[in-house]
């Protein structure tokens, strides 16, 4: 079998509620041992990719939905980085603040909360029924999102903002934002797989997981036919469509399954390990 380059989303694909199944860890390590190249390809900011996930072992990381790409070879180096233009960022933050909407700015080394995110977060983390599933959701959000935020004012003239995440807090919808900014920025629906949290992600125009897949594949010398992408949500759509084989997880959004070349089992049912075996990676 030809060597392949594989791109893996994190949430709902590699991991479930921030836990990577042992079967997936073994499969990733065995695939690399067999000579295949593996990249994380996530909507998370770089600092949200935990050390536990990195320790699984990958050849590189795509974060912020394609806006920051690094390889681990030769001690590690940045292959690509992009940020939202200052004027567009000012227009975005003004738009959200004027509607008292919850949003967050993603930089490489920090997350910065908009002025209304704290109230939105507090409401979400306290009102839902106490079940094991909801408890895990809260723990994930605290650990991966809200506890990493800087809850103070941020100068838009300092630091490159890779992506903006916003939540529907009753004052706007994804469609509202898409109508206002869809021509000059790249928008996808919110990728955090947590019930009750809806909204979207905004990045530089033309920068997404699909463009990252093409850029990284070219860097490593792979043709499209030898690329495989695994995902579960709307922000995986571009890489699923551009890969030689796009695979939706069993727990994926139905619209993603409809365009995927194949559908794996769900993440909690060892879907990734089963798929690696099916496609000859292990």
Determine the average pLDDT of the residues in 129-148: 59
Q: How confident is the model at residue 258 (pLDDT cuts 50, 70, 90)?
A: very high
Say yes or no: 186 and 169 in one domain.
yes
What CATH number has the domain bearing residue 190? 3.30.1240.10
pLDDT tens, 94-128?
A: 999 999 988 989 998 888 888 888 777 666 666 55
193 and 215 part of one domain: no
DSSP state of 238: H
Same domain, 231 and 214: yes
The whole domain housing 196 covers: 86-204
- 38 or 172, greater pLDDT: 38
Highest averaged pLDDT of the listed ranges 113-127, 133-147, 176-190:
176-190
pLDDT at position 202 over 90: yes
Beta strand pairing status for 245-248 and 37-41? Answer: unpaired
Residues 37 and 114 in one domain: no
| One domain for residues 259 and 123 | no
Q: Is the pLDDT of residue 84 over 70?
A: yes
pTM equals 0.89
> Among 152, 178, 204, which residue terminates a domain?
204
Tell me: the pLDDT tens digits for 8-33?
A: 999 999 998 778 999 999 999 999 99
Q: What value does the mean pLDDT take over residues 46-55?
A: 92
The residue among 204, 220, 236 that closes a domain is: 204
CA distance to 31, 98, 222, 223, per residue, from 7 (Å):
12, 38, 13, 14
Based on the domain organization, do 107 and 158 belong to the same domain? yes
SS3 string of 63-123?
EHHHCEEEECHHHCEEEEECCCCHHHHHHHHHHHHHCCCEEEEECCCCEEECCCHHHHHHH
Share of the chain above pLDDT 70, in %: 83
- Same domain? 168 vs 242: no
Same domain flag for 47 and 91: no
Q: Which residue has the higher pLDDT, 140 or 207?
A: 207
Domains held by the chain: number = 2
Top mean-pLDDT range of 34-48, 99-113, 157-171, 184-198: 34-48
63 shares its domain with 132 = no
Q: What is the arithmetic mean of pLDDT over 90-94? A: 94
Same domain, 92 and 196: yes
């Amino acid at each position: 079998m030809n060597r392949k380059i594989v791109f893996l989303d994190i949430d709902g694909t590699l991991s479930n509620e921030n836990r990577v199944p042992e079967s997936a860890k073994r499969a990733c390590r065995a695939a690399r041992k067999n000579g295949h190249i593996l990249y994380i390809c996530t909507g998370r900011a770089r600092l949200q990719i935990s050390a536990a996930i990195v320790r699984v072992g990958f050849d590189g990381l795509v974060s912020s939905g394609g806006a920051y790409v690094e390889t681990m070879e030769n001690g590690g180096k940045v292959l690509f980085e992009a940020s939202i233009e200052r004027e567009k960022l000012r227009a975005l933050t003004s738009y959200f603040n004027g509607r008292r909407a919850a949003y967050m700015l993603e930089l490489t080394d920090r997350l910065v909360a908009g002025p209304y995110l704290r109230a939105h977060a507090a409401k979400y983390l306290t009102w839902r029924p106490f079940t094991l599933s909801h408890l895990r959701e809260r723990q994930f959000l605290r650990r991966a999102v809200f506890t990493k935020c800087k809850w103070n004012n941020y100068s838009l003239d300092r630091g490159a903002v890779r992506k903006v995440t916003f939540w529907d807090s009753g004052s706007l919808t994804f469609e509202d934002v898409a109508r206002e900014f869809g021509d000059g920025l790249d928008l996808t629906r919110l990728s955090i797989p947590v019930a009750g949290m809806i909204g979207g992600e905004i990045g530089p125009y033309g920068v997404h997981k699909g463009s990252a897949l093409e850029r990284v594949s070219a860097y490593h010398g792979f043709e499209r036919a030898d690329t495989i992408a695994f995902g579960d949500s709307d922000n995986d759509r571009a890489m699923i469509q551009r890969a030689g084989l796009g695979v939706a997880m069993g727990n994926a959004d139905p619209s993603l399954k409809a365009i995927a070349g194949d559908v794996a089992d769900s993440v909690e049912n060892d879907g990734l390990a089963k798929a690696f075996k099916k496609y000859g990676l292990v």
